[in-house]
Amino acid sequence: MSYLNYELNEDEKLIALIRKHWITLTLPLAKAIVAIAVIAILAQKLFEFEYGKEIVFVWIITSILYAVHEIIIWYLDCYIITNKRIIDIDQKNIFRRIVAEVGIENIQEVVYLTNGPLETILGYGTVNVKTSSNGSMIGMEQIPNPVEVKDIIVNAKGQKYL
């Protein structure tokens, strides 16, 4: 949690830190596993070539680095709910992030939705937070327990967690 401390002001209290559901990692990790499996199948043929071992090595390292990159992006991409605001940290890549925030007092409407059997069974979905100030919206997509997150936001607005 310490890497997020610089996002919080001195008088803010952390209420919730929300990351996307683990299911969002399955496709990137499956890609890396398939890439490693393909090179493992082709490895014996590639070893016959002059730079075959190097190709296999680079392929495997690249696949592992891709998987690590996706895990890091998943970890850094989060939503922070405090007693004063909601912060949306949208981590695009290792060196690019977009941070949006909305004050708790500006929240006008909080809506959650789950779409389809997979989201319903695994318990994840979207929470949209609409503001009264300029009509903007923070969309918390593919998060676990959207009903619980909606309730946390509504309670934060009502009680202000002071």
* Tokens coding 147: 């009903």
Q: Are residues 15 and 68 in the same domain?
A: no
* 111, HSE (Cβ side, Cα atoms, 13 Å): 9
Percentage of residues in the chain having pLDDT higher than 90? 67
Q: Are residues 68 and 88 in the same domain?
A: no
pLDDT digits (tens, 9 = 90+) for 74-97: 999 999 999 999 999 999 999 999
Q: Are residues 52 and 84 in the same domain?
A: no
| R_g of the chain computed on alpha carbons | 21
pLDDT digits (tens, 9 = 90+) for 91-107: 999 999 999 889 898 89
Judged on CB neighbours under 10 Å (0-12, 13-18, 19+), 96 is exposed
User: Residue 58 — left, alpha, or beta (φ > 0 → left; ψ -120 to 50 → alpha)?
Assistant: alpha
Q: Could you say which of 41, 72, 103 is where a domain stops?
A: 72
CATH number of the CATH domain containing 111: 2.30.29.30
Q: Are residues 40 and 111 in the same domain?
A: no
Q: Are residues 55 and 112 in the same domain?
A: no
Q: Are residues 33 and 90 in the same domain?
A: no
Q: Are residues 88 and 55 in the same domain?
A: no
* 116, HSE (Cβ side, Cα atoms, 13 Å): 6
pTM, to two decimals = 0.85
Per the DSSP assignment, residues forming a β-bridge with 148 are: none
Among candidates 134, 138, 131, 152, which has minimal Cα distance to 87? 138
Q: Are residues 43 and 6 in the same domain?
A: no
Q: Are residues 124 and 150 in the same domain?
A: yes
Where in the sequence is the domain holding 56, given as residue range(s)?
26-72
How many domains would you assign to the chain?
A: 2
